[in-house]
């Protein structure tokens, strides 16, 4: 009788242990599934927030570009066209008086060339067609060589096997143009040296000039003060590219702009 009770006890105890482990496993699975669902929801929420942040960045960039278009037309092309109209009025008077000179027309042709140059630069700045047709390096070189009043030197080290996606190339193009335009406009240099390196890992631009430079601290202050310089577009594009910007202030100031091409593999 005692043996049977011991066997029954062992059976009950074994059933209890098995039931305990089964319940523990079920609870573990339930808790794990709930945690996984929570993490998935958090991931989806984070993903949506990131997508919204990127979308907001793109919208801000577009608005900044529209503002830049209007400013360029108003501040640069508009006054030239207005001056050209005034010159024509003066020529009309001179023609009526018989005092119009050949050198007046020669000078006006040079002035017209200046207007066309500004229109050409604005067109290259606003439209990616030239970039998509000719490639990043040639497009940037073409633009920089059009800048007047500055001695421009461009050195390139390009791995021809590297294929740059259109959206990456466009954003890089805009950033480099914004940086060089700011240097010319605010730094007032007489000489600019641009080194371009394109490898399978990175695209690197080193822009050295003898004008007034800024440090990383200056750039941060400009950002905090929203002090113009097309910063909204510059920051948005740099963020989208996951790029690095380094400002070095000195006798020959330098800006280093590095775009990683392999960051997706490391995410």
**What pLDDT digit, counting tens, does each position of 70-105 carry?**
666 766 677 777 778 878 888 888 888 888 888 888
At 170-225, the pLDDT tens digits run 889 989 988 998 899 889 999 999 999 999 999 999 999 999 999 999 998 888 77
143 and 99 inside one domain? no
| Nearest CA-CA partner of 253 in 207, 213, 194 | 213
pLDDT digits (tens, 9 = 90+) for 135-171: 999 999 988 988 878 999 999 999 999 999 988 998 8
CATH number of 260's domain: 3.30.565.10
Shared domain for 221 and 195, answered yes or no, is yes
Question: Is residue 70, in this structure, part of any structural domain at all?
Answer: yes
| pTM above threshold 0.75 | no
Q: Do 117 and 30 belong together in one domain?
A: yes
**E-strand stretches of the chain:** 151-158, 191-198, 202-209, 244-248, 253-260
* 188 lies in the same domain as 252: yes
- Domain span including residue 170: 137-267
Listed residues 126, 148, 171: the one ending a domain: 126
200 and 232, same domain (yes or no)? yes
Q: Are 155 and 195 in contact (CB under 8 A)?
A: yes
Residue 114 and residue 173 share a domain: no
Both 49 and 152 in one domain: the answer is no
- Beta carbons of 194 and 144 less than 8 angstroms apart: yes
Domain tally for the chain? 2
Residue 132 lies in a domain: no
Q: Which residue, of 84, 105, 126, is where some domain finishes?
A: 126
């Amino acid at each position: 009788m005692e043996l049977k009770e011991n066997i029954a006890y062992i059976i009950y105890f074994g059933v209890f242990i098995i039931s305990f482990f089964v319940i523990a496993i079920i609870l573990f699975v339930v808790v794990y599934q709930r945690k996984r669902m929570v993490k998935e929801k958090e991931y989806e929420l984070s993903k949506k927030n990131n997508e919204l942040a990127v979308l907001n960045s793109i919208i801000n960039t577009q608005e900044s570009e529209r503002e830049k278009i209007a400013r360029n037309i108003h501040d640069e092309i508009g006054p030239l066209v207005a001056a050209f109209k005034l010159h024509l009025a003066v020529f009309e008077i001179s023609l009526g008086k018989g005092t119009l000179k050949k050198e007046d027309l020669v000078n006006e042709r040079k002035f017209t060339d200046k207007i066309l140059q500004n229109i050409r630069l604005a067109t290259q700045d606003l439209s990616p067609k030239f970039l998509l047709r000719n490639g990043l390096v040639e497009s940037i070189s073409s633009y920089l060589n059009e800048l007047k009043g500055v001695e421009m030197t461009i050195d390139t080290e390009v791995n021809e096997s590297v294929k740059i996606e259109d959206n990456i190339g466009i954003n890089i193009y805009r950033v480099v143009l914004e940086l060089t335009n700011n240097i010319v406009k605010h730094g007032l240099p007489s000489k600019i040296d641009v080194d371009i390196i394109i490898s399978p890992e990175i695209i690197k631009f080193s822009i050295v000039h003898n004008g007034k430079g800024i440090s990383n601290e200056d750039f941060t202050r400009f950002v905090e003060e929203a002090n113009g310089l097309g910063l909204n577009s510059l920051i948005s594009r740099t963020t989208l590219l996951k790029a690095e910007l380094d400002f070095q202030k000195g006798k020959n100031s330098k800006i280093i702009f590095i775009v990683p091409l392999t960051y997706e593999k490391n995410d």
